[in-house]
Amino acid sequence: MKYFSTRGDAGRLDSAEAILKGLAPDGGLFVPEQLPKIDADFLASLAPLSYEERAAKVLGLYLTDYTADELKGCVTRAYGGGKFDCGKRAPVVHLTDASVLELWHGPTSAFKDMALQLLPQLMSTALRKTGVTDTVLILVATSGDTGKAALEGFRDVPQIKIMVFYPDGGVSRIQRLQMCTQEGANVNVTAVRGNFDDAQSGVKEIFSDEAFNKKLKEGEVRLSSANSINWGRLVPQIVYYISAYVDLVADGTIKAGEEINFTVPTGNFGDILAGFYAKEMGLPVHKLVCASNANNVLTDFLRTGVYDRNRDFFKTITPSMDILISSNLERLLYHMTGDTATVAGWMQQLASTGRYDIGQDLLTKIQEVFWGDWADDAATKATIKDVYEKNHYVCDTHTAVAYTVARRYQEQTGDGHHMVVVSTASPYKFNGSVLEAIGAATEGKDEFDLLDELAARNDNPIPAGLASLKTKPVIHQKTCEKNTMRDAVMAFIANK
């Protein structure tokens, strides 16, 4: 299977080449030339398999230039070796009014581990397959979880360096500690004075700066990405939608072939887009519900067809969703239109004016698949408390946004399909907000006191990676302006 840019000017590449490049030279995102199909027999064949075996089968449909043995090795190294604290890797937990797909049992306690433990393995294999001898520099902009997951995944991987930019003051204290204590000879963490969109835009500008990339190339360095703009980051996320469905059939929650709904807390649109790919492949999905926080640009888009980032930016208790530019939406627009020129035009409008309008016809088509709403911090905390009181289940703030919106969707539409709430982070990563929501005192307590407080109320223990932060030294303390990110990159390359 070949891959090309959503904006049409990057040729057709094998998946290994697309994964190494990350972002297409024309600024677009790589997409597969067609979507593979799955059927009831394929889903049934996954039921007796481990998560690793399921992943290898699904990935093999997209990464056709990788051998079966290569994929088996990649998934074994990614998900094995005691990195995950749950044998199912992505278990489904049943509560009173929904099922919860827990995606946070990996080493950094966030759903990004599901992809970012695998991406380094896919990329390292791609380097061998393509004969590339340059050093690959991974540039990442993070709103919190991606940074740590990428750092952990790429730590000390040969021939690869990784540099993570995060918004100064725009991540939780636990998220900052996770990143700034990161060990590894090939890693760098730098705070950007600005918000996530400033960091993300800065990274995109570096990728598209031909003169800067030429300078790097002269030093035998090439750029790639670990954000969900990289196809190798997105494709592993398709697996857990399919795996969850198989598990729901296996435990008798649904019948084979029965359609279900997923509600996904969404910032950059990559997680829910993976659900769209699964649906388009043939997974029986009725509706994908897009849940946003107060930075509700996606909610407005799904209701009006107008994407407009010209609005106030809010810092919330769900920082991983504090985003106004949802990069992966570009992929959906391509798949819905098949028109690279039109997509390129919309992206140019977004860059120059901060908005674009897709029109009513396309909006209607998108609304057949997606439904969107948002929840503010107060509603999010209320849901955490309600779910805890009814189920003795502690969900993090992002999961609570999804739960809130899932309930609203069911109330407003009367849709009775089984609902799966996608849980993207451990509640321990946002312990202060979670504890406040369930009525616990937090004043005067540090992050580690709060971890202990939450552990006393939670059936799940403190994840080992978070518990160890208490004694880890802070290694990374650099800060830059958004217009000096290139200088920071060059300093890292020169080991300054």
Active site residue ranges: 112
**In the structure encoding, which two tokens stand for residue 95, read together?**
């509560």
C-alpha distances in Å from residue 101, one per residue of 83, 374, 425: 18, 20, 11
Q: What is the DSSP letter of 284?
A: -
What end-to-end distance do the CA atoms of the chain give, in Å? Answer: 41
Q: What is the dihedral of CA 386, 390, 396, 402, to 10 degrees?
A: -70
d(CA 139, CA 153): 13
d(CA 376, CA 397): 11
d(CA 150, CA 446): 26
Identify the bridge partners of residue 110 per DSSP, sorted by sequence position.
Answer: 425
Sign of CA dihedral 381, 385, 391, 394: positive
**In the structure encoding, which two tokens stand for residue 56, read together?**
């290898």
Q: What is the DSSP letter of 463?
A: P
Longest dimension (CA), the chain: 61
d(CA 175, CA 429): 7
